[in-house]
Amino acid sequence: MRGTALRSESWSDPRVPAADVCVLRYVLGKWAKMQPAKDYAVFTNQRAWSYHDTLIRAKATASALASLGVRQGDHVACWLPIGADALQAMLGINYLGAVYVPFNTAYKGNLLAHVIANSGAQILIAHASLLHQLDTVDTAQLTTVISLSDDHTAARSNASELNCIDREGFELYGVEPPPLTRPICPWDMQSIIYTSGTTGPSKGVMSSYLHAYSNMGPEAWPVIQASDRYLITLPMFHIGGSFICNIMLCHDGSVAMAGDFRTQDFWPAVRKTEATVVFLLGVMATFITKQAPSMTDAQNSLRSVFVVPLIDNVQGFAVRFGVDVYTIFNMTEVATPTFSAINPAQAGTCGVAREGVELRLVDAFDCEVPQGKVGEMIVRTDRPWAMTHGYHKNPEATLAAWRNGWFHTGDAFRQDSNGNFYFVDRLKDAIRRRGENISSFEVEVEAIAHAHVREAAAIPVANELGDDDVMLVVATVGDTQLSPRSLFDFLVPRMATYMLPRFIEVVSTLPKTPTAKVQKHILRASGVSPKTWDRERAGIHVGRSGITYNTD
């Protein structure tokens, strides 16, 4: 069986699917043989790839990497934007049985040096425009950089110790990759994906093929069909990019790639690629809904839309755009532990526990909290290798996350009597004021409800009492003018008085990672500035008895 696809392999454990169901090399080989002409990848700026084309491209990259000395189990780093190059790199790396290690394209300086060293990769496949970032960092064990650019030219780094290869010298079409040293198994490592690093150095999440499959497979995302085409809206260094490309291959479906998400380009990309499914971060969905309504809003190919976190007025979104809306809770380390009903009516829900997953809400000592109370969500599955098996070269973080045999998400939730889970906050983002715990997420939801607010972030600001005050930073829709006082007045009837922000600042945009997560550590570091509105200075005082206005 050495070097052959395990098309009929079955394991003694029935919870583990056959290799040609969940291992990329064998899944791609199976579909390329059974339906070679079916489209797998569709783009807005180039010819689509059939399953046959995709197999040829995967083999070309695998062969080229093998010629550079990459062997099964080696780590290969990728530093590429959304697009065909990033997709082909992942497919080729995994076809060879190597480990795909993508880097965030925004990384630079110490954070870039950290992931290079942590990755253990000797070869980096990168976009030429990023290579200058290597000039000022320690490149650790890297020996070779494969430089890909849109115009097929190479841009070289000044890091002279690195061998730089351009696209023409890298692609080896028509050359068969060497045989595997052993069959690739579902529990073999497929990828190391780094967390967003919004609060500190990124951790490398190790994922097996079975983890990637379980994250979005039939049990986790039951509404996906072989006829679906999934529009990729998140980068390939995010599970919303790479894992989705993998699972649509496993589903015998297809993917569509249109580059980074831009509100004005979203619907044209959907219509051009005939996409049927899409994942939208809550902020993306908000951007879309705050565009002016059009008679053609529902004239699109979309069938299902995943919105995370769930926005207000789900029914309105579903009707306006002619789609079914679902929501989930997920993170890189786990495997979609919750899934909602269609067009959920419960505001803020993340859905209920899905089949094959156990969930508990616990206190700081891992003791279960009563129903309705807030606790940290911890997770385990009944399938082996269905979640991360740890953080790469970080045993301390791995041990802390897997305490007492459960994975600790670091997220606070509550659960209602019907089993619905509701996200409250990241534990590290919670704000405490006058003995009350304030959910930054809930403050942000109310702020975004204002017609002129595009995005919002609530952060704690220490006060003279050793307590937290709430600071709200918002970005407006387009060129809309919004005064902090009018936003405060809008919030007064919408939230408990202890949640009302003391400080409000209006900005053009919030600092975000390329995966659209707000970098709250930057906002916390900036804190109150001369541009920040302070309700106390404006003569508005909020106490337990209510709000008083000093009109003097």
What are the residue ranges of CATH 3.40.50.980 in the chain? 50-207
The predicted pLDDT at position 530 comes to 93
Query: 373-415: per-residue pLDDT in tens?
Result: 999 999 999 999 999 999 999 999 999 999 999 999 999 999 9
- Dig out the tokens for 14 from the structure: 């029935």
Sign of CA dihedral 396, 402, 404, 405: negative
Half-sphere exposure of 217 (CA within 13 A, CB side): 22
Domain 430-549 classification at class level: alpha beta
What are the residue ranges of CATH 2.30.38.10 in the chain? 355-427
355-427, what's its fold? Luciferase; domain 3 (2.30.38)
DSSP structure class, residue 160: T
| 138 Cβ neighbours under 8 A, 6+ residues apart | 113, 116, 117
How far apart CA 47 and CA 281 sit, in angstroms, is 28
DSSP structure class, residue 224: -
DSSP states along 428-460: GG-EEETTEEE-HHHHHHHHHTSTTEEEEEEEE
Which H or E element spans position 523?
A: helix 520-526
Cβ atoms of 193 and 332 within 8 Å: the answer is: yes
Q: Which of 273, 228, 265, 224 is nearest to 42 (CA)?
A: 273
Maximum alpha-carbon separation in the chain: 86
* Residue 424 identity: V
Cβ atoms of 334 and 379 within 8 Å: the answer is: yes
Give me the average pLDDT of each 10-residue run along the chain (552 residues).
43 91 98 98 96 97 96 97 96 98 87 93 96 93 92 56 87 91 97 74 92 95 96 93 96 95 94 97 88 94 95 94 97 96 94 97 96 96 97 96 96 95 84 75 89 93 79 92 95 86 94 78 90 93 81 59
Q: What is the CA radius of gyration of the chain?
A: 24
Residues β-bridged to residue 75: 99
Peptide bond just before 183 cis, omega within 30 deg: no
The predicted pLDDT at position 520 comes to 87
Dihedral-angle region of residue 336 (phi above 0 means left; psi in -120 to 50 means alpha; beta otherwise): left
Strands 338-339 and 328-329: antiparallel
Q: Tokens 């351009």 identify what position?
A: 166
How far apart CA 543 and CA 435 sit, in angstroms, is 13
Q: Where are the alpha helices (DSSP H) in 121-236?
A: 209-216
How far apart CA 440 and CA 424 sit, in angstroms, is 8
- Dig out the tokens for 288 from the structure: 């879309």
How far apart CA 333 and CA 325 sit, in angstroms, is 24
The predicted pLDDT at position 99 comes to 98
Cβ atoms of 38 and 50 within 8 Å: the answer is: yes
Residues β-bridged to residue 191: 100, 207
- Dig out the tokens for 484 from the structure: 């902090």
Q: What does each C-alpha distance from 42 to 257, 264, 275, 304 come to in angstroms?
A: 6, 20, 9, 18
Detail the DSSP E strand segments found in 202-322. Answer: 204-208, 229-232, 254-257, 277-281, 304-308
The three-state secondary structure class of 19 is: helix
Tell how many helices (H) and how many strands (E) occur in the chain: 14, 29
What are the residue ranges of CATH 3.30.300.30 in the chain? 430-549
Which H or E element spans position 75?
A: strand 75-79
How far apart CA 162 and CA 143 sit, in angstroms, is 5
- Dig out the tokens for 342 from the structure: 């269609």
Cβ atoms of 153 and 174 within 8 Å: the answer is: no
Which H or E element spans position 485?
A: helix 484-491
State the CATH architecture for 50-207: 3-Layer(aba) Sandwich (3.40)
How far apart CA 211 and CA 191 sit, in angstroms, is 10
Phi/psi at 295 (5° precision): -65, -20
Q: What does each C-alpha distance from 262 to 166, 207, 259 come to in angstroms?
A: 30, 29, 9
